[in-house]
Amino acid sequence: MNTSGNVSGAVNAAIVILGASGDLAKRKLIPALSKLYDKSQIDPKSVIVGTGRTEFSDVSFREHFGIPGDFSERLHYHKGIPGLKKYIDSLGSFDRIVFFMALPPVAYGRTAGELLREGFGTEANLIIEKPFGYDYESSHILNSELTGYFKERQIFRIDHYLAKEAVQNILVFRFANSIFYPVWNSRYVESIQINAYEKIGVEDRGAYFDDAGIIRDMIQNHLTQLLCLITMEAPVSLDPAEIQAQKINVLKAVRVSDCRRFQYRGYHDEKGVAEGSSTETFAEMKLFIDNFRWTGMPIYIRAGKALNRKGTEIGIKFKHIPRLLFNVDGKISENKIIFKIQPSSGIVVDMESKVPGDNLEIANTNMSFCYRESFPAEIPEAYQKLLYDALKGDRTLFVSAEETETAWEKFGPFLDQGELGYYEKGSAPELCLARDWIDFESYLPICR
């Protein structure tokens, strides 16, 4: 979704991966750049330069990724940052220089300073991965440090959820279809429920996760972005600054009223987890948005690991119809709209219909839109979209400094706080905050 007005096409750039010998470069970045190159979205004169402490020649660096063809010839390697500017200048003339920091977050600020001292300036753009800080204070310090070296417009904070096609489609669904807009408010909607369930535990991320927990790892960033998109006001235009402004308005109005934290049994046995750790692996939160559109309507956010299923989805649950006509006995279900984000992508509209026959029997039915059925072509992986947008300078799908700090400010009082409940691996904790939670599992067969 190119919303910035930039003309699409090949971009002539030097793409520098800082920390290029790591897992992220091999699993995500180089394959994504290879696909962009194959689709002629990267100019043939562009180069991909890896840097790091590991000793590589250009040849051994190319062999490290095992990608054949012309794209491999665009890969180069330079050890460390000293001398990097002169090295890139020797490779050609480029419209943009994009640095992807595949580094520990603690190194972001220091590395930005090194790049500035090396001679990179207004032509440079920095892409950084979450976590953007550990809490409000650390986030504010990081943003201040980065903007002390480069302008905010040069900094691209990645939240890969925003690049998922199903997530981008939320704004299209809301603002390109007039039938939904009039009822998108607390007068008609009973609750909004957002889930991010994973079947796997912390696996090899135990050390990182034990310092973070599920609220920092998922809710404060990915799921908060989903919340903003599903509840924000219509922007004046599709300019990235306008979209970010509306998301910030939502965040400013958010009020977290309750939080329940849980941990799966056996978590302490995971590699890297501290003995006696009280880190939560599942959290259920209740929020409100104190503005005219959503006042009084609860929002439930749940995220966790080692659960009974995998799935990320948003549920819009509408209010009951009156006990009249077809609903005298009050048995008709509420209408729902389900946005399925992953592993399958689609939208389900839940409704009531008459069962064919002489009797006036009503059944719950649905209409569904499934991405893979409607658009059989390959759906781009998130990093493809994000890297291409960063190369063009399109900031629509990236997170601003104010967004990150406002989100931390809202969730800060609930970090590492409250009693800890427990659940068995492969099951889910008993939900207690939602009065009538949506049975998302019943929608699993749709859009597989």
Which residues form the catalytic set?
222
> Whats the size of the chain, residue-wise?
448
* Residues 410 and 251 sit within 8 Å (Cβ to Cβ): yes
Please state, in angstroms and as integers, the Cα–Cα distance from residue 144 to each residue in 119, 152, 402, following that order.
Answer: 20, 10, 11
Say how far apart CA 427 and CA 20 lie, in whole Å: 38
At residue 242, the 3 state secondary structure works out as helix
Which neighbouring-strand residues pair with 317? 191, 336
Residue 109 CB-half CA count within 13 A: 14
Closest alpha carbon to 312 in 444, 413, 416 = 444
Q: Which of these, 345, 280, 269, 290, lies nearest to 313 by C-alpha position?
A: 345
Distance CA 411, CA 95 (A): 40
Extract the tokens encoding 65: 């990724």
Residue 405: both structure tokens together: 């700090």
C-alpha to C-alpha distance for 19 and 54, rounded to whole angstroms: 9
Long-range CB contacts (< 8 A, 24+ apart) of 204-211?
Answer: 204/271, 204/272, 205/272, 206/270, 206/271, 206/272, 206/273, 207/271, 207/272, 207/273, 208/272, 209/272, 209/273, 209/279, 209/281, 210/272, 210/273, 210/274, 210/277, 210/279, 211/134, 211/279
Tokens of 307: 């659960």
Token reading at 397: 């799908």
**How far is the C-alpha of 355 from the C-alpha of 422, rounded, in Å?**
43
Q: Say how far apart CA 338 and CA 372 lie, in whole Å.
A: 17
Q: Select from 428, 383, 444 the least CA-distant residue to 198.
A: 428
Quote the CA–CA distance of 95 and 116 in Å, as a whole number: 18
- 336 neighbors 316 (Cβ within 8 angstroms): yes
